Amino acid sequence: MKIAILSRNPKLYSTRRLVEAAENREHEVRVLDVLRCYMNITSMRPQMHYKGERLEGFEAVIPRIGASVTFYGTAVLRQFEMMGTYPLNESVAITRSRDKLRSLQLLSRKGIGLPVTGFAHKPDDIQDLIKMVGGAPLVIKLLEGTQGIGVVLAETHKAAESVIEAFMGLKANILVQEFIKEAGGADLRCFVIGDKVVATMKRQGKEGEFRSNLHRGGTATVVRITPEERSTAVRAAQTMGLNVAGVDLLRSNHGPVVMEVNSSPGLEGIESSTGKDVAGAIIAFIEKSATLGKTRTRGRG
């Protein structure tokens, strides 16, 4: 099978592991810088070009599109879809999961456990917004933030007021969420492929840090999850329409709650903490699922 990997950096651990796993299974694989791909949008024969060369014959494409290039990256992926190439995750699903507010609304509609979340536009509504999520302490999140950046824990009512006012004054879009104290600064990263959780790690924030991101000094350990946590992770990924996803859960007093559904989850933390060949499982899923022209959307939406 001829597989394209859309990645800005072929030296990244996740990209290298996917290349290695594909080559070990005797596939032809090529890493393409998504920003160097450009397209000819035409009715009859849509084309993709790369550094002066026309790309063709790819049977599957693995998108590893960073949040900062979501718009252009999903346009490139959509063009591959229009050419009949099988996408590991579809462009529509990636766009959906990158919109924090939209993704929470979709998960809410499916009855999936979430932290109580508020969203408002006017400073006049701040008092009611804080009350709506159960008061301080509470978490304030920039909608555009990634890897724990733009996430603030406001421990008092006054602090919450000040931070929300400041963000609104900067015209920033923010979510206000209840603080799940019982999680103790830890979350679960469930790696979902298809309809299965193939690996799970518990991420623990460093001392005094409520964010558990590994990029922020968190540590990862293997953890056994409950059937309810497993089911929640799979349902969250399927609600987004993602075949491969990293679903972040918190253990709350009222069951597992979804913090985020990541469409390009990193492999380094999960593989090193669990010892599982997650990259190999992704390639195996593509082998089983890839059929020319098999996309639900065919580039629509």
Evaluate whether residue 104 is within a structural domain.
no
Please state whether the predicted TM-score (pTM) of the whole model is above 0.85. Answer: yes
Domain end: 164, 179, 194, which one?
Answer: 179
The answer to whether 208 and 196 have CB atoms below 8 angstroms apart is no
Q: What is the pLDDT of residue 299?
A: 41
Residue 186 CA to residue 209 CA, distance in Å, equals: 10
The answer to whether 202 and 220 have CB atoms below 8 angstroms apart is yes
> Which residue ranges of the chain lie beneath pLDDT 50?
298-301
Tell me: the pLDDT tens digits for 22-54?
Answer: 999 999 999 999 999 999 988 778 899 999 999
Pair 208, 220 in one domain: yes
Q: What is the pLDDT of residue 248?
A: 95
Tally of residues, the chain? 301
Residue 214 CA to residue 62 CA, distance in Å, equals: 24
The answer to whether 224 and 230 have CB atoms below 8 angstroms apart is no
Evaluate whether residue 298 is within a structural domain.
no
Evaluate whether residue 300 is within a structural domain.
no
Residue 65 CA to residue 35 CA, distance in Å, equals: 10
Tell me: the pLDDT tens digits for 244-253?
Answer: 999 999 999 9
Q: What are phi and psi of 270, to 5 degrees?
A: -70, -40
Q: How many CB atoms lie within 10 A of CB 202?
A: 19
Q: What is the pLDDT of residue 61?
A: 97
Domain end: 179, 210, 232, which one?
Answer: 179
Q: What is the pLDDT of residue 270?
A: 94
Residue 90 CA to residue 79 CA, distance in Å, equals: 11
Residue 29 CA to residue 210 CA, distance in Å, equals: 40
Domain enclosing residue 76, as ranges: 2-95+285-289
Evaluate whether residue 296 is within a structural domain.
no
Pair 194, 167 in one domain: no
Q: What is the pLDDT of residue 298?
A: 43
Q: What is the pLDDT of residue 84?
A: 92
Total structural domains within the chain = 3
